[in-house]
Chains A and B, each alone.
Chain A
């Protein structure tokens, strides 16, 4: 189990690793460049080898593998020259031409040579001069950057990089790593590599240079099973290393310095499991420079990743966001203030494309973002783009691919970006130039993809700065002082347990298009209850092209809600569309706009989280953040009412929705006398196990009402018919884009009309009918607690209990940390 105390170990890098401080690499040109015949021989031999392979009787696949091995050999032996060779050619299959013909098309000069070797020397000279010109501005100030070496992780989804020692599913860990710097001096074009840490059994990642350029923050996992990623800080002068966080079974990574002296980082301390697989999830946390006062900033359904500080003090990050919608295409960039307030969509919230935006960094002097566009089931590398949020917030608006500059190659596919050259971890230097971990061969050669650190410009002109024949070079960050963003004045008040939403006009925004003013009477506030672990699964299939998935520890049949829903209650919406209300802080909450018949007009299909004491205002219902609509009144009516508390659900308070507890009693009272499976379809509450995959019992009533059935051969689990006229709902695999109002559920299900009219001599009360509406609009949940109606073995129950307890312990630790933080603030004030 984890070590809960926070260690602050001062370790000497020199003591820890014998090879630390080692420098390598030339300050002058590598031998294979200063003596071009070395490179020529390597090129010529490669061509000869490929010619020999082609002349042999190798199978096409073996021939392909052999050619790939030649590419790899060239990359290892003459990295810079081979990169020039590749970028100056028009195809990777340069072996189709003779070396001489290749040279003829690459050499642009007019000097003559007597043979290929001579022409090659002229070509190299041409390339060196070009490098001098390209790097002139960059190397003028003797730049230095830090970077990491590790084998690029290759998980099934870009998100799973925690590599927890006790991971319940993916554990991506490839030992062997270095933390390095690379520096240029005297305006040269060849730099010097220095190894700060060499660890043959661990992995180092996520270097981050402090504003004053004196300290280097990074994450280090020293062992597969005996350690996890934790935050460390190295003083770049003394090389002293300080461990900031600790705990076996806990991964802390992706740390970034904040203007107020704290550090934001990603961590598995959230303790939960993702909804669509069995993997650990990470959420963003914050701690001080010593790793103290760790507090959770986001309370997100699944994964957050890649926090990146903007010049105005905001943090952007990638948030996996699939409440009530398909899981593959919903990895937008989010933003928040670094105290956790103002968590809002930044880019790509309601779009199919780009699938995922990761490794985002602000371009200095602009409000534009450079980021890598990847798919969902892809590693963390793909295509490189600049996002201009001012030009738009979704799909292709504001998105430009670079290197070279072009319109995006739009492909709405899960595994987007798994082709051709590959980019990861850009570090923008300006709107034109950047450092990048790049592989020109990428998927042409395939895994393991070998990345080097390049200087590059938006036109795609590039120079390889550093590479390692044995391992990928990743995550370049400049070692230089930088402007500290302004320090925000945090309004977070941990002594409170609530925040306040100010909704100016619910009718603003595309989500309420066509809805007459006055239609919305209330907002329902619903909390997503996230599972601690996955036991069993159901299969979900999208009918709108959002792919397929599983829900683990399923809440209902396939295509039902991802997560358990807890209803907090409702608040009134004023006739002018305004509402101001307090909600519990630090929870994932979403809203449903209800009409006078308590039907959902529009539902959020995302969630919002407030910090305690936060007041977050929104103009309308998912309005474009670029819009500032004028309001046709002096003051929102809700202003005169004041901030109201939630009218609690059923007059009692927050409660999760369980079909057995809410719907079945109504059925039992009114329906099962006929609907008993003999006279009519069975609506009894008898629990049955219809398959082995979900590891869940369902009632006959639930299965029949959802028209559940098995649809695929390779998945046993039953799926509900979410498009059935009688009972329909928004599928959990619905599109990522905005739905029209009244899309499905209580507004379109015939059962509601039937119940309202009366059926078989039975007329339910309005309150009873409202329960059915609620069930439909929550996406037909069956259970209200993840252990409810389980069909788990003892071992499976122990498995769930283990992770549940681990999560609870995290929660207790965090609570203690918050209290300590409050005490510290109190003492500081005094």
Chain B
């Protein structure tokens, strides 16, 4: 069984043109590697020994996850017409399709042949009947579910992002647990405070533990902390499947070198936990028995609990890990072939093993385009001091991690919620306070004040091109007739009360105003922010104080009292933007 995590950053397909090969999913079955090409909207079957492509299936959206079950190859796609597909591995022909019209982010097959699918933006977990290709159940599964894992009795759904107010403590991504039979939510496992950008889950060799990759952001310190080592630490949590508890979180980082943006986890038969480091172009290998032994020695695994918290020690895995440099950029996915890592290098257009014996390439890589290079730099932690973080560490998918950060580029002691970078170049000035005159300036300031490395103009220019190329994703709330009717009513109210400032195609007049509801803030004026993709960028307001739009401060500058129904209509309208 297989649970592939989603790292789909390039929803905003840029003008890459034909012939670009951008693999971001790979699954190995025997001597065949199934490879998803995000730009080519296709799934390839590649014969590993010969390195030749043997078959190809085309889709209308990118393939986001795959699994094998009952002799069939299953896959899901993400996009406006995203759906579930059953494919015959021998013919590589689609034998059944279930359109779900969503950004389906992960797929898992249970022991009974039951199929579980998550929808990232609708926040749903679907149970499917494999035989009838019908939806059996659909439940809410938190914020941006990105990976699903099924046991004999339970289904674990990993959320990429936290759901809380940024002023809450703790604030972290969570794993929701559902009963396999009833579909009812039975629990929620909070990752440690500061956990964001969760990506992947994988079961331990012994079957008792579930490993989870995510960031562990130390947002309580200003980002200048990176100059003395770490700010975003990079972690793997260990969940006990016996009782659904978080046993421990260990840092993958080394002292003075970040293991940036951990992604896919795979456990080998030869005692290695492999974690693909998406921002570091490396695969980290951890001795599984060594890790379990070390945790055991600290009583982490016992009922007594540990006095020492492994997440407090950046060198916890000392002597237990090794690194394999993959010589490819953007390790979006990984599987094992002959018990060794085989990765999809998204930006350099390669599917390759660690030993250099297999290196499948076709067409042109994403790096052949300016936007593609910019996207690569955006996701590349080598652009930061000691490789601690990439731009995507705080801006996963170019959007937000939900946390408040104290950036030193606009003074100190004024932490603010991470903004989505969508349309930032089109809506100057930028930053919450509008302190940067435009996003071009902010990109360069970001490298300087957060990454702490001098980055040449060409790189900054490429990142500009990438950010400009980002396209908004249509609201997942659209399509529901009642909702849209409510939103239409809300639009009337919005236009009457809000459109003075939130005007134009991006819902901003690009002005700056004092904001009395932001009385705690140290900045005198605030930038009128774009509302495009507002449904995606919670929590809201400059300090992320509210996880929903149904908040008094969201309804600032309204002269009239809104009825609850009117308020709901306006919220619904804003969620459609």
Q: Interface on A for B, CB 8 Å cutoff?
A: 260, 312-314, 337, 341-342, 344, 367, 388-391, 486-489, 491, 500, 502, 504, 580, 614-619, 625-636, 638-643
Contact call A630/B309, Cβ cutoff below 8 A = yes
In the bound complex, residues from chain A placing their C-beta under 8 Å from that of B385 are 312-313, 486, 488
> B454 at the A/B interface (Cβ < 8 Å)?
yes
Q: Is B404 an interface residue (CB 8 A)?
A: yes
Q: Check: B406 CB closer than 8 A to any chain A CB.
A: yes
Among A342, A487, A614: residue with most chain B CB under 10 A: A342
* Residue contact A500 to B193, C-beta cutoff 8 Å: no
Interface centre among A313, A627, A635, by most chain B C-beta atoms within 10 angstroms, is A635
Task: With A616-B224, A625-B228, A634-B171 given, name 16 new contacts (CB 8 A).
Answer: A342-B228, A344-B228, A367-B257, A390-B254, A486-B382, A487-B454, A488-B452, A491-B452, A502-B225, A626-B313, A630-B194, A630-B312, A631-B220, A634-B167, A638-B413, A641-B413
How distant is the Cα of A99 from the Cα of B255 in the complex, in angstroms? 53
Docked-complex contact B220 and A628, CB < 8 angstroms: no
Is the beta-carbon distance between A390 and B221 smaller than 8 angstroms? no
B454 touches A633 (CB 8 A): no
Distance from B394 Cβ to chain A, minimum over Cβ atoms (Å): 16
A810 CB to closest chain B CB (Å) equals: 28
A616: B residues at CB distance < 8 A: 224, 227-228
In contact, B412 and A634 (Cβ under 8 angstroms): no
A-B contact pairs, 25 of them (CB 8 A): A312-B256, A313-B385, A367-B255, A367-B256, A388-B318, A390-B255, A390-B318, A486-B454, A489-B448, A489-B455, A491-B224, A491-B452, A614-B224, A617-B228, A619-B221, A627-B312, A628-B311, A628-B312, A629-B312, A630-B194, A630-B312, A632-B193, A633-B220, A635-B167, A641-B413
- Which residues of B sit under 8 angstroms from A633, Cβ to Cβ? 169, 220
- Minimum CB–CB distance for B290 against chain A, Å: 15
Q: B386 interface residue, CB < 8 Å from A?
A: yes
Do the beta carbons of A391 and B454 come within 8 Å of each other? no
Residues of A within 8 A of B229 (CB): 625
Once A390-B255, A642-B522 are accepted as A-B contacts, the answer to whether A615 and B224 lie under 8 Å apart by CB is yes
Please report the C-alpha to C-alpha distance between residue A342 and residue B385 in the assembled complex, in whole angstroms: 13
* Residue of A with least CB distance to B192: A630
Interface residues of B (CB under 8 A from A): 166-169, 171, 192-194, 218, 220-222, 224-225, 227-230, 233, 251, 254-257, 309, 311-315, 318-319, 382, 385-386, 404, 406, 408, 412-415, 447-449, 451-455, 520, 522
Min CB–CB distance B237 → chain A (angstroms): 13
Interchain CB contact under 8 A, B311 and A389: no
**Complex formed: what's the CA distance from A388 to B404 in Å?**
35
Which of B412, B413, B451 has the most chain A CB within a 10 Å cutoff?
A: B413
Q: How far is the CA of A627 from the CA of B313 in the complex (A)?
A: 4
Given A504-B220, A504-B221, A643-B412, A635-B314 contact (CB < 8 Å): no
Question: Quick one: closest A residue to B194, CB to CB?
Answer: A630
Q: Would A639 and B413 count as touching, CB distance under 8 A?
A: yes
- Report which of A491, A636, A642 forms a contact with B220, defined as CB distance below 8 A: A636
B406 touches A488 (CB 8 A): no
* CB nearest to B455 among chain A residues: A489
A641 to B194, CA, bound (A): 22
Given B233, B255, B520, which contacts A389 in the complex, CB threshold below 8 Å?
A: B255
Q: CA separation between A312 and B386, bound complex, in Å? A: 6
Measured CA separation A367–B315 after assembly (Å): 12
A634:B413 contact, CB within 8 angstroms? no
Cα distance A639–B221 when bound, in Å?
Answer: 9
Contact flag A617-B221 (CB < 8 Å), given A367-B256, A489-B447, A580-B412: yes
Partner of A627 from the list B227, B314, B451 (CB cut-off 8 Å) is B314
Whether the Cβ atoms of A502 and B314 lie closer than 8 Å is no
A390 & B193 in contact (Cβ 8 Å cutoff): no
User: Is A489 a contact of B311 with CB atoms below 8 Å?
Assistant: no
Structural contact, B412 and A615, CB atoms closer than 8 A: yes
Asked whether, in the complex, the Cβ of A628 is within 8 Å of the Cβ of B412, the reply is: no
Q: What is the chain A residue whose CB lies nearest that of B171?
A: A634
Give the top 3 A-B pairs by smallest Cβ distance, nearest first.
Answer: A634-B169, A615-B224, A489-B448
Complex: chain A residue closest to B456, CB-CB: A487
Q: Kindly state the separation between the CA atoms of A487 and B169 in the bound complex, as whole angstroms.
A: 37
**Given contact pairs A312-B257, A635-B404, A639-B406, A628 touches B314 in the complex (Cβ within 8 A):** yes
Contact A337 B311 (CB under 8 A): no
Most chain A CB atoms below 10 A, which of B222, B227, B230, B412: B227
Tell me whether A489 and B452 are in contact in the complex, defined as CB-CB below 8 angstroms, given that A630-B192, A630-B311, A639-B406 are known contacts: yes
A580 to B411 alpha-carbon distance, docked (Å): 12
Cβ contact within 8 Å between B522 and A628: no
User: A213 to nearest B CB, angstroms?
Assistant: 23
- Residue on A with the closest CB to B224? A615
What's the nearest-Cβ distance from chain B to residue A614, in Å? 8
| Shortest CB distance A286–B (Å) | 16
Q: Contact between A488 and B230 (Cβ–Cβ < 8 Å)?
A: no
Closest to A487 in B: B454
In the complex the two chains form, what is the Cα distance from A628 to B235 in whole Å?
12
Contact A615–B193 (Cβ < 8 Å): no
Among B228, B313, B454, the most chain A Cβ lie within 10 Å of the Cβ of: B228
A500 to B168, Cβ gap below 8 A?
no
Q: How far is the CA of A626 from the CA of B222 in the complex (A)?
A: 19
Q: Choose one: A313, A625, A635; the contact of B415 (CB below 8 Å).
A: A635
State whether B415 touches A639 (Cβ < 8 A).
yes
**Chain B residue at minimal CB-CB distance from A486:** B453
B224 touches A628 (CB 8 A): no
Q: What's the nearest-Cβ distance from chain B to residue A618, in Å?
A: 8
Q: Quick one: which of B220, B229, B454 has the most chain A CB within 10 A? A: B220
Do B454 and A502 touch across chains, with their CB atoms under 8 A apart?
no
* Chain A residues whose C-beta falls within 8 Å of the C-beta of B230 in the assembled complex: 628
**Which of A337, A390, A487, A502 is the one whose CB lies under 8 Å from B222?**
A502
Cα–Cα, bound, A625→B256 (Å): 10
CB distance from A297 to the nearest CB of B (A): 15
* Complex contacts, A260 vs chain B, CB 8 Å: 454
**Complex formed: what's the CA distance from A763 to B369 in Å?**
81
Please indicate the chain B residues that have their CB under 8 angstroms from the CB of A626 in the complex.
255, 313-315
Name the B residues within 8 Å of A388 (CB-CB): 318
A511 to nearest B CB, angstroms? 16
Question: Chain A's nearest CB lies how many Å from the CB of B454?
Answer: 4
- CA gap between A616 and B224 in the complex, in Å: 7
**Across the interface, do A391 and B318 meet the contact criterion of CB distance under 8 Å?**
yes
When distances are taken between beta carbons in the complex, the residues of chain B under 8 Å from A486 are 382, 385, 453-454
Query: Would you call A487 and B227 a contact (CB within 8 A)?
Result: no
Chain B nearest Cβ from A205, distance in angstroms: 29
Contact of A342 among B169, B227, B408, B520 (CB under 8 A): B227
How many angstroms between the C-alpha atoms of A661 and B41 in the bound complex?
Answer: 81
Closest B residue by C-beta to A500: B412
Q: Could you tell me the distance between the alpha carbons of A342 and B229 in the complex, rounded to whole angstroms?
A: 9
CA gap between A690 and B429 in the complex, in Å: 72
Q: Of A489, A504, A641, which one neighbours B454 at CB under 8 angstroms? A: A489
CA distance A491 to B454 in the complex (A): 11
Determine the residue in chain B with the shortest Cβ distance to A339.
B227
The residue that A642 contacts in the complex, of B257, B313, B318, B413, with Cβ under 8 A, is: B413
* Chain A minimum-CB-distance residue to B164: A634
In this complex, the member of B192, B254, B412 whose beta carbon has the largest number of chain A beta carbons within 10 angstroms is B412
Distance from A673 Cβ to chain B, minimum over Cβ atoms (Å): 51
Closest to B314 in A: A628
Are B408 and A491 in contact, with the CB atoms below 8 A?
yes
Q: Could you tell me the distance between the alpha carbons of A388 and B449 in the complex, rounded to whole angstroms? A: 29
Cross-chain contact of A491 among B166, B318, B449, B520 (Cβ < 8 A): B449
Q: In whole angstroms, what is the CA distance A636 to B451 when docked? A: 23
Contact A628 B452, CB 8 Å, known A633-B220, A635-B404? no
B169 to chain A, nearest CB (A): 4
A625 CB contacts on chain B under 8 angstroms: 228-229, 255
* CB-CB nearest in chain B for A391: B318
- A488 — which chain B residues lie within 8 A by C-beta? 227, 385, 452-454
Q: B218 — nearest CB in chain A belongs to which residue?
A: A628
Chain B residue with the shortest CB-CB distance to A623: B312
B216 to chain A, nearest CB (A): 8
How far apart are the CA atoms of A580 and B221 in the complex, in Å? 11
